[in-house]
Amino acid sequence: MIFLFIFSVIIFSFSSARANPVNNTERADKQIAGGIFNVVKFPNLPCRATNGLNGTCMSKTECLSTGGSVEGGCAQGFGSCCFYYTEDCGSDILYNQTYIRNTGYPNTVTAQTSYDCEWKIYPQSGDICAIRFDFETFTFGPPKHKESDTFSCEAGSTDVVKFETAGNQWNYLRLCGYNPGHHVYIDMNTPEENGYGKINIHLDYSHWADFSRTWNIMVSQIECGKPFTPPAGCGQYFYGNNGVGVIMAFNYEQPVTDYIAKLLGIHTICIRREAGMCKISYTPPDYDDDNYGFTVNGSPSLTRGRKSCTNKEPATGGECTDDFLYIAGATSTGDEDYGQLISPVPSTPSQYHTCDRFCGKRLCNLHNACIDQNHNVVISKRFPFEIRVVFSDHSTSNVLKGYKLNYWQSKC
């Protein structure tokens, strides 16, 4: 068998030389210097490991020498699918698609003592524009102070997972609770003196010592200029599938009803404009199927869109002030036919406006509308397609999940 394999490699090398006669001498020198088993080269592309997670295709020697483990093959059997993970508190992340997981994963952990760990993610090259964190598993202390009536995600109240861009710039995020299946981006094109991103996990043992946590977070490095590279400042980025998808608030699917709540924070959701598309539509699930599909703010008795569509700045008396989704140029048609939004129609153009801030308990494309009705469809033609999320603290008397929005793009 060994003889047959060596003979096959020699034949492959000879055939390649005949097909590519240029620089045959140089090619032969490299083959002799590197050894006959280095003839076959392949790019370090993502691969699916035998454990069901993502790995990187490379040689077995390179994988093992860099601290990875071989989990299956790739490159038609010539390469090894290299899997990287760490359970160590505060180790540096040097390789693409490395998983950060709790000790003993998939077993859960509690927090009987202090746990405050920070990982630094160093780019593999100067052509890395973003870091993406994919939450395979993400169950932390709930968004609530155990002895308080306020939902929040702050140190001193519950667990906190922080994501900081290189240089600690403005797309910083802070999460807790239950978020498997979500993802987060941070920017990396920042000054070289602080050229690394960070993730910090703090477990609250004072209030939630016995709570069972588990996490498995994949850290990917995103090259600049690719179709999947997010614009700077995007906390989340959605693309593909012909411009159709679903976006949800963090912690939306929290399984314990006592802890259902949207999370405090400000971030931008970006959606790539697909080829030939010029407008995007949003709407929650049917109200009868999920009556929390749009519950941004409002008292328990409120069932309609309270002041749900406005364009006034919060500082000038706008209705959506502390909790809202900002969607630029949003109307019922996407055509920004300003007169349709106000009844009676204003007498002067200066009074016309589109909606851009949405709050309340129904998503409505008319101000103070959606009374005893289902949600509306909200459409925007403003580029780029994005939603700015602004959430504040709120009391536990209000069951609020934030939003679950179906979106789809349409041709011009």
Residue in 163, 152, 169, 389 with CA at minimum distance from that of residue 267: 389
Looking at residue 376, the DSSP 8-state letter turns out to be P
The pLDDT value recorded for residue 285 is: 95
For the chain, residues with pLDDT lower than 50 are: 1-39, 191, 193, 306, 338-353
The pLDDT value recorded for residue 314 is: 54
The pLDDT value recorded for residue 301 is: 63
The pLDDT value recorded for residue 265 is: 84
* CATH assignment of 87-238, among 2.30.30.40, 2.60.120.290, 2.40.50.180, 3.40.50.1100: 2.60.120.290
Is 273 exposed, middle or buried (CB count within 10 Å of its CB: 0-12, 13-18, 19+)? middle
The pLDDT value recorded for residue 188 is: 87
Max Cα separation, the chain?
90
Note the pTM of the prediction, 2 decimals. 0.84
pLDDT, tens digit (0-9, with 9 covering 90-100), for 341-374: 444 444 443 333 467 888 888 888 776 667 667 8
Structure tokens at 58: 């490379």
Task: Categorise residue 316: left if φ over 0, alpha if ψ from -120 to 50, beta otherwise.
Answer: alpha
Whether residue 131 contacts residue 186, with contact meaning beta carbons closer than 8 Å, is answered with yes
The pLDDT value recorded for residue 145 is: 83
Looking at residue 28, the DSSP 8-state letter turns out to be H
Q: How far apart are CA 54 and CA 133, in angstroms?
A: 13
Whether residue 111 contacts residue 208, with contact meaning beta carbons closer than 8 Å, is answered with yes
Whether residue 120 contacts residue 197, with contact meaning beta carbons closer than 8 Å, is answered with yes
The pLDDT value recorded for residue 332 is: 77
The pLDDT value recorded for residue 397 is: 67
pLDDT, tens digit (0-9, with 9 covering 90-100), for 39-91: 456 678 899 999 999 999 999 999 999 999 999 999 988 899 999 999 999 88
> First and final CA of the chain: distance in angstroms?
61
Would you kindly state where each structural domain of the chain is located, as residue ranges?
1-40, 87-238, 269-411
Whether residue 360 contacts residue 297, with contact meaning beta carbons closer than 8 Å, is answered with yes
The pLDDT value recorded for residue 322 is: 82
Q: How far apart are CA 86 and CA 65, in angstroms?
A: 16
